[in-house]
Amino acid sequence: MSAGFTHETVLLNEAVAALSVKPNGVYIDGTFGRGGHSAEILKKLEKKGRLLLIDQDPEAIVAAHQLYADDERVKIWRGSFRHIPQALSDVGLAERVDGVLLDLGVSSPQLDDASRGFSFAKEGDLDMRMNPDVGESAAEWLQHAPAKEIADVLWQYGEERLSRRIASAIVMDRVETPFTTTLQLAEMIARVIPKREKNKHPATRSFQAIRIHINQELASLIECLEAASEYLSIDARLVVISFHSLEDRLVKRFMRKHSRPVKLPKGLPVMPDETKKPMLRLLSKAIKASESEVKRNPRSRSAVMRVAERQV
């Protein structure tokens, strides 16, 4: 972990309890981050238990190796959680797992490290890639994307009402001075937005939207949920913590879709063996951080956790 950067894991005890860890089970932490959840999972795993740590951030992978390189129970794989099947194959783990945990969004060290480009409050390169070795940076995308594409991203992923105005200003300003730093972009957005939301920086929605687009976060989440569910053993748990309404909506819809009975044609006789249980069973309503946790860690205020169990 980079010096000076800390991370307080959100819904730590609740998430690990929801996994219902078996001492000799196989688990996946699909978003290792700085390992708060993983450390608690490992406390419950015995010698034959296994934990696969996945992260696409190189600094998170360095932290994982520093902590667990000598732990035989731990496998470490760098890449996107959308590639769970490949990760399991590469590290030689069983085809089925007993639980998958996803803690979505950007981590505190990523936000606090200005050089990563996630924060509109600190000067840094306008990058925003969780994996800086893959794809184009935010600066590169903003330099060539058409105004309509930029506006669509700001509206769809940030629900920014002034998306067209901001996009037009970006396209106009970049002709003479390309956007290369976080404060350069943040200050321009603040300049073109006349009305301010109380206690919210004018660039909040735009930075969030650009980050989601650059990292293909929603597409990756959908792919990950499909793959994770297929690899769950019977009675295994899928635990997802999201921090954004779009992410939570996707998780909610996915879990509901796969927890409802199959619709059968009306008016036709149906034999008992033709009715199948849905793949998942919902275990609880949405779980949010307690008042004490939000007070201690303000970033937990938007966290929503959903849990499902595979039953067929």
For 217-262, how does the pLDDT look when each residue is reduced to its tens digit (9 = 90+)?
999 999 999 999 999 999 999 999 999 999 999 999 999 999 998 7
User: Residue 19 in contact with residue 239, Cβ under 8 Å?
Assistant: yes
Q: What is the DSSP letter of 279?
A: S
β-bridge partners, 306: 240
pLDDT at 105 over 90: no
User: What domains can be seen in the chain, in order of their start residue?
Assistant: 12-108+217-310 (3.40.50.150), 132-214 (1.10.150.170)
Distance CA 9, CA 196 (A): 30
What is the pairing mode between strands 280-282 and 304-310? antiparallel
Q: Which residues of 62-95 are buried (b: 16+ CB within 10 A; e: fewer)?
A: ebbeebbeeeebbbbbbbbbbbbeebbeeeebee
User: Residue 214 in contact with residue 268, Cβ under 8 Å?
Assistant: no
Residue-wise pLDDT tens digits, 124-179: 999 999 999 999 999 999 999 999 999 999 999 999 999 999 999 999 999 999 99
Contacts (Cβ under 8 Å, ≥6 apart) of 97: 25, 26, 27, 28, 52, 88, 231, 232, 233, 236
Percent of the chain with pLDDT over 70: 94
Distance CA 77, CA 206 (A): 31
Contacts (Cβ under 8 Å, ≥6 apart) of 69: 76
Q: Give the residue among 6, 22, 86, 25 at the shortest CA–CA distance from 54.
A: 86
